[in-house]
Amino acid sequence: MMRVPQRERARILIVEDDPVQAEALSAVLAAGEREILVAADGETGLSLARAGVELIVADYMLPGMNGVQMVRRLREEKLATPVLIVSGEATVAVAVEAMKAGVLDFVQKPFDVDFFRVRVAQALELGRTAQELEVLRRKLQRRGKPELIVGVSPAIAQVRYLIESVARTDVDVALYGETGTGKELAAREVHEYSQRAGGSFVVVDCAAIPELLLENELFGHEAGAYTGADRKAAGLLAEADGGTVFIDEIGDMPLPLQSKLLRFLQTKEFRRVGGSRQTRVDVRVVAATNRELETEVARGRFRQDLFYRINVFPIRLPPLRDRREDVPLLAHHFLRGVASGKDVGRPIEGFTPEALAALAAHDWPGNVRQLENVVRRLVVMTEGPRIGVSECHAVLGEPTATVSPAGTIEPFHQARAEVLARFERAYLGSLLQATGDNVAEAARRAGLDRKNLWLKLKRHGIARARL
């Protein structure tokens, strides 16, 4: 089901460089639950508008760009926010120019306060109706396609709200979050809810494509661009024309390519490798990373200008341990997915309450993806109709009760050695996975002596590492 993203409080943005006038307008507009924001120039106004406002009241004469130019920029970014322009020098030509640019109403100064209030109320109402229509239109468009993002936590509701709001515009999106938090899923949702849903969704994974090939993949190449390039390739950007390109792990993009990407984002044009002609494509860019880009910028590994360019609309995907209330829903969601698969010939009804509690208490370093894998393994392990707590503990590698309720007591040292061994195996396994089987790096990150780590790996028979 699609929710109507709507705030209780209407947010009105005033763009006015004269502080006295801005104050006067705020006083006229303030009423009830309204929230009033003020920007002193068009550029600031635009960035506040991108974050979502219900109405903009702008002066015509502004430093930098004027009110009408600001509206043009808004509409270019597909932001449909209604705008009232207030102006002292209202020539007919200016009013016509304003209407053409998509200004809803043009109010001449000085104005009658009551008259102005009515215009504002009308504009807000119109904006609300337009938004409702838009939501209905999208719903029709999405009919049959279920919502992908599962979750009821406030954190996930906020993510959904941001996705639905930004999808209505053409603004580029930056997704942040740990591994497995659902960044790719969120990117797909932005695409599905947007006007580009009919176009293609193309994934460029900067971490998976070797550095030397990345430029080629992204921008394509001309025939004969290099040895072996016997045919021309359009590239992924061209493939995404009219749709959305998802640039995954953008933090891993090499610096020289970052400059080329920035140029593309600014001009919407690029040159194929070995080519001289500029190609123009119409794509929305959604970028994702599990790194902190600010830190990468400070370390000189990510271009600051590219960071500002892609960080227009950031969305943070919360880690699963910060929204434990979603664990039961997600577990059921994945169980349905597995249980409907052909590989398990047995019906599994669900989880026992204790099992769900154990799952919710886990820390989920691998987030939703890890939960999905755990559910798969649980289905294979479970004999009865319901998944129980002991299966959960076994799969999660968490200590099982060593003093059983039946009264059998394992000797303390033996019990401790077993729990420790289990912990070590789980720890070393994920350590190697995180470091790509590189023992030197693994030792450094784990704070272990390399030889010591090597001995532990040997003892547990974990030998796939590059020693």
Ligand X SMILES: Nc1ncnc2c1ncn2[C@@H]1O[C@H](COP(=O)(O)OP(=O)(O)OP(=O)(O)O)[C@@H](O)[C@H]1O
Q: Nearest residue to Mg ion, using CB?
A: 184
User: Whose CA is closest to 39, among 64, 58, 14, 75?
Assistant: 14
Work out whether 252 is an interface residue with Mg ion (CB under 5 A): no
Closest distance of CB 287 from Mg ion, Å: 11
- Beta-bridge partner residues of 242: none
Closest distance of CB 252 from Mg ion, Å: 12
Burial of 357 (0-12, 13-18, 19+ CB in 10 A): middle
- Beta-bridge partner residues of 438: 466
Considering only residues 240 through 299, tell me which ones interact with ligand X, judged by CB under 6 A: 290
User: Whose CA is closest to 314, among 445, 190, 131, 463?
Assistant: 190
> How many residues at the interface with Mg ion, by CB under 5 A?
1
Work out whether 369 is an interface residue with ligand X (CB under 6 A): yes
Q: Which stretch binds Mg ion (CB under 5 A): 31-39, 184-192, 393-401, 430-438?
A: 184-192
Between 232 and 291, CB nearer to ligand X: 291
Q: Which residue has the tokens 């249980």?
A: 339
Work out whether 184 is an interface residue with Mg ion (CB under 5 A): yes
Between 251 and 328, CB nearer to Mg ion: 251
Work out whether 184 is an interface residue with ligand X (CB under 6 A): yes
User: Whose CA is closest to 124, among 191, 208, 54?
Assistant: 54
Those residues whose C-beta lies under 8 Å from the C-beta of residue 25, and which sit 6 or more positions away, are: 14, 16, 57, 86
Q: Nearest residue to ligand X, using CB?
A: 182
Between 45 and 318, CB nearer to Mg ion: 318
> How many residues at the interface with ligand X, by CB under 6 A?
17
Those residues whose C-beta lies under 8 Å from the C-beta of residue 261, and which sit 6 or more positions away, are: 218, 247, 253, 306
Radius of gyration of the chain (CA): 28
Closest distance of CB 351 from ligand X, Å: 17
Outline where 397-464 has alpha helix (H). Answer: 412-434, 439-446, 450-459
Beta strand pairing status for 105-108 and 244-248?
A: unpaired
Closest distance of CB 187 from Mg ion, Å: 8
Considering only residues 317 through 336, tell me which ones interact with ligand X, judged by CB under 6 A: 330, 333
168 binds, among Mg ion, ligand X, none (CB under 5 to 8 A by kind): none
Is the four-CA dihedral 422, 427, 428, 430 of positive or negative sign? positive
Q: Which stretch binds ligand X (CB under 6 A): 110-118, 172-180, 420-428, 437-445?
A: 172-180
Closest distance of CB 96 from ligand X, Å: 48
Query: C-alpha angle with apex 447: 446 to 451, nearest 5 degrees?
Result: 95
Q: Are 291 and 251 in contact (CB under 8 A)?
A: yes
Considering only residues 133 through 152, tell me which ones interact with ligand X, judged by CB under 6 A: 149-151
5 binds, among Mg ion, ligand X, none (CB under 5 to 8 A by kind): none
From candidates 66, 87, 165, 181, binder to ligand X by CB under 6 A: 181
Work out whether 45 is an interface residue with ligand X (CB under 6 A): no
- Token readout for 160 is 């959904």
Between 66 and 181, CB nearer to ligand X: 181
Own/partner contacts of 118-126, CB < 8 Å, gap of 24 or more, are: 119/84, 120/12, 120/29, 120/55, 120/57, 120/84, 123/55, 123/82, 123/84, 124/10, 124/12, 124/54, 124/55, 124/82, 126/82
- Gap between the Cα atoms of 327 and 45, Å rounded: 40
From candidates 41, 43, 170, 372, binder to ligand X by CB under 6 A: 372
Between 12 and 286, CB nearer to Mg ion: 286
- Gap between the Cα atoms of 239 and 406, Å rounded: 64
Residue 466: what are its φ and ψ, rounded to 5°? Answer: -80, 105
Closest distance of CB 177 from ligand X, Å: 5
Between 330 and 465, CB nearer to ligand X: 330
Closest distance of CB 192 from Mg ion, Å: 17
Closest distance of CB 289 from Mg ion, Å: 10
Closest distance of CB 380 from ligand X, Å: 18
Closest distance of CB 132 from Mg ion, Å: 33
- Gap between the Cα atoms of 181 and 396, Å rounded: 18
Q: Which stretch binds ligand X (CB under 6 A): 177-185, 296-304, 335-343, 380-388?
A: 177-185
Between 270 and 364, CB nearer to ligand X: 364
What is the binding site for ligand X (CB under 6 A)? 149-151, 177, 179-185, 290, 330, 333, 368-369, 372
